[in-house]
Amino acid sequence: MAEEQVYGLHAVLAALAKNPAGIEGVWLSAGRADARIAEVERAARAASVPIHRVAREELEAMAEGLRHQGVVARLRRGPRPGPQDFEDFLAALPPKPLLLILDGVQDPHNLGACLRSAEAAGAHAVIVPKDNSAPLSDVARKSASGAAETVPLFRVTNLARTLDALKEAGVWTIGATHDAGATLYAADLTGPAALVLGGEGKGLRRLTRERCDLLVSIPMAGTVGSLNVSVAAGICLFEAVRQRRKAR
């Protein structure tokens, strides 16, 4: 699609709060008038973002079948974060960063869900390879429920070299894989940490595994052999949150 858009109440409100200058306009269903729609309208007016009241059929066409809850925001096209942006981010890392790295996640729903978990856990950024990764599409933004507008997402050309750069910066890289001997709960996640998860089905690639400082598994009591990547990401991120709060 030519335009980048955000759908749904949570996602649009988050976009208005985080980066109103990046919003071209907000489209609202002419047939819906309730407190949540009024909240979006107030936020848009406060940010001087144009508001358009249109028929539901027009919103359906804009959303191309996605669930929009009567709200669509169209984003202005801006420059994508590039290599220099990541280098600047790396140079200005906080003392104990928490990062999420996704190696080959190709489902936009999973990318969005991982962004949402990362935002909820207070992660400082999500890093994905430029190739072999889902785009930050409208579907991903919808699944992220506003997190795509708040969590930095870096696309890097070479993930193995990026892991090396993170390690040189003092970040401990922890890869999650089902066949690791160590468990997630035995790992120390209180320091600078990058949690590395693989894509659907294939998991971590060989070079990625080799670059990780530590490989861990998530102990499971049932009979299934693996978890959805977005579920695994949430478990790993919030184990880091738990440990960091306990260590305060």
pLDDT bracket for residue 121 (50, 70, 90):
very high
Cβ count within 10 A of residue 73: 29
Q: Give me the pLDDT at residue 78, please.
A: 62
pLDDT digits (tens, 9 = 90+) for 144-181: 887 888 899 999 999 999 999 999 999 999 999 998 98
Q: Which of 129-138, 142-151, 200-209 is the least confident region? A: 142-151
Full set of structural domains in the chain with CATH: 5-75 (3.30.1330.30), 83-247 (3.40.1280.10)
Mean pLDDT of 219-231: 88
pLDDT bracket for residue 80 (50, 70, 90):
low
CB 237 within 8 A of CB 118: yes
> Can you spell out the DSSP letters for 2-67?
-SEEEESHHHHHHHHHH-GGGEEEEEEETT--SHHHHHHHHHHHHTT--EEEE-HHHHHHHHTTS-
If we measure between CA atoms, which residue out of 36, 229, 27, 224 comes closest to residue 143? 229
Which amino acids are annotated as binding site for S-adenosyl-L-methionine, given as ranges?
198, 218, 227
Q: Which of 191-200, 204-213, 215-224 is the least confident region? A: 215-224
Q: Give me the pLDDT at residue 21, please.
A: 84
Which amino acids are annotated as binding site, given as ranges?
198, 218, 227
Q: What is the CA radius of gyration of the chain?
A: 19
pLDDT bracket for residue 223 (50, 70, 90):
confident
Is residue 76 over pLDDT 60?
A: yes
DSSP code at position 203? B
Q: Give me the pLDDT at residue 3, please.
A: 65
Mean pLDDT of 101-114: 96
Say which residues have a Cβ less than 8 Å from residue 110's Cβ, sequence separation at least 6: 134, 143, 200, 228, 229, 230
